[in-house]
Every structure is written in C-alpha cells, then in structure tokens.
Amino acid sequence: MTDWLFPPAATPSLPIAGSAARYPVRRILCVGQNYAAHAREMGHERAEPFFFSKPADAVVADAADPVFPVATENLHHEVELVCAVGQDGSIIGWAVGCDLTRRDLQAAAKEKGRPWDAAKGFDQSAPCGALTLGVLPDPAASIALTVNGEIRQAGRLDDMVWSPDEILAKARRLWDVRAGDLIFTGTPEGVGPLRPSDKVQAHVGGLVPLTFTMRPR
C-alpha cells in the first residue's frame, strides 16, 4: 500500500449520456483557429490551426457552474465540439464544451511572445457537457452558443479547417494519445465577453447541450 504524503486528488471525469459509467479525463488538448472565420476575427487571414492544452482538472462537469476567474476583466466564451479518445486510441464519443479564455491575458502574452497558459489553462476553464458515445450524429451539424438567450456564436461543424479525424492524426504526431484524452476542436466566429451571472447555453446538433451560469467570485 502506498504511503501518500497527502491524499491524491480525485480523477476529473465526465458523465456519459444514458449510462452510470463515467469517462476519466487524462488530459485536454485544444485546437486553435480551426474555423477560418474565427481566425479572421482574431486578426489572422490565413491561419493554420495549432494545438495548446488545458490541465485535466480544468473540466467543469455535471451541470456545475464555474466561478468567474480572477485576474481578468475580459473573459470570453468559445463553444467547441469535444472529442473523447478511447482505449483503442480512436474517438469513441463527443460532447459540447466551452473554452473559457482570459482574453486580456492572452493578448498580453501574444504581444510579448509568451505562452498562453494563464489565459487558457486556468481553474474551471473547460465546462463540458455529458459525453455521447458512438459516431458523431451529423458531421455537418450546427454549433451555437447563447448568452442570456442572445445568440453569440453560430456555425457548422463542416466549417472546420481540420476535421476531427485529421485533428486526431495530427495530435498523434506530437503526443502519445491515449484513453482519457479530450480534444477541444476549435470554435466558430462570434467569441465575446462574459460577465458574472451570465447564463450560457451551448449546442451541437445531436449532442447533450451544455448549460452553465458564471458564478460571481
């Protein structure tokens, strides 16, 4: 029996639609600028998608409400299709996620050529809905996000520059992709600010919707 200095943290996990089982999260990989229109709104006319990451414990699951983060005055929403990797290394399920971003910290990091960790990988920065196992219901499904009932983001999954299968293949060139890895596949145009008490609803056609409220800190 291992004599721990202190008890290990619980493994982050996602619920699985229609099942009592849970999906244990090993790590979170994210794709940036995977929708051309979003790349343009961020000032990149012909951007190539790229990877960054969030820690596994950034996941906010089970309809919990994330706390509005410290150290930012410009928190942004980014609705995303999330892929879940299974034991055979393939994509076994899908969920709706939201990449919360401290945009002011990201802008400062970009200006100085520094990493984005504080802008992207902070506590509770990855709200995620329940996982739907199996094939993606519709590769051309809509993806959308509303804030307090107002539509902010709306697009289609087939607007992605890299498809989910291409994302997985590219990720394998960089990492030993394993079961428990989540991949956030990028966001369509329309990203914008969130305020404390804002109610967010995110949808991808055929998947369990994601709903949360930003709790004041």
CATH number at residue 151: 3.90.850.10
How does DSSP classify residue 91? E
Residue-wise pLDDT for 30-60, tens only, equals 999 999 775 567 665 656 899 999 999 999 9
36 domain-assigned:
yes
How does DSSP classify residue 38? H
How does DSSP classify residue 88? T
What is the model's pLDDT at position 177? Answer: 98
90 domain-assigned:
yes
What is the model's pLDDT at position 36? Answer: 78
What is the model's pLDDT at position 43? Answer: 62
Task: Tell me the C-alpha distance between 186 and 196, whole Å.
Answer: 24
Task: Tell me the C-alpha distance between 158 and 165, whole Å.
Answer: 12
Q: Helices in the chain by DSSP H: which ranges?
A: 36-41, 103-112, 117-120, 164-172
3 domain-assigned:
no
pLDDT-wise least confident of 9-18, 41-50, 148-157: 41-50
What is the model's pLDDT at position 37? Answer: 72
78 domain-assigned:
yes
76 domain-assigned:
yes
Q: What is the rounded average pLDDT of the residues 159-164? A: 94
Residue 78 has pLDDT above 90, yes or no: yes
- The answer to whether 156 and 176 are in contact (CB under 8 A) is no
What is the model's pLDDT at position 46? Answer: 56
Q: What is the rounded average pLDDT of the residues 196-213? A: 98
Residue 6 has pLDDT above 80, yes or no: yes
190 domain-assigned:
yes
What is the model's pLDDT at position 201? Answer: 98
Residue-wise pLDDT for 102-137, tens only, equals 999 999 999 999 999 999 999 999 999 999 999 998
What is the model's pLDDT at position 11? Answer: 98
Residue 141 has pLDDT above 90, yes or no: yes
Torsion over CA of 36, 172, 98 and 188, rounded to 10 degrees? Answer: 10
What is the model's pLDDT at position 60? Answer: 98
Residue type (1 letter), 214: M
Task: Tell me the C-alpha distance between 133 and 3, whole Å.
Answer: 37
What φ, ψ does residue 42 adopt, rounded to 5°? Answer: -95, 5
Strands 27-32 and 181-184, sheet pairing: parallel
Non-local (6+) Cβ contacts of 168 within 8 A are: 83, 85, 90, 91, 177, 183
8 domain-assigned:
no
- On average, the pLDDT of the chain sits at 95
7 domain-assigned:
no
Q: What is the rounded average pLDDT of the residues 9-35? A: 97
Domain count along the chain? 1
Domain that holds residue 154: 18-213
Q: What is the rounded average pLDDT of the residues 157-182? A: 96
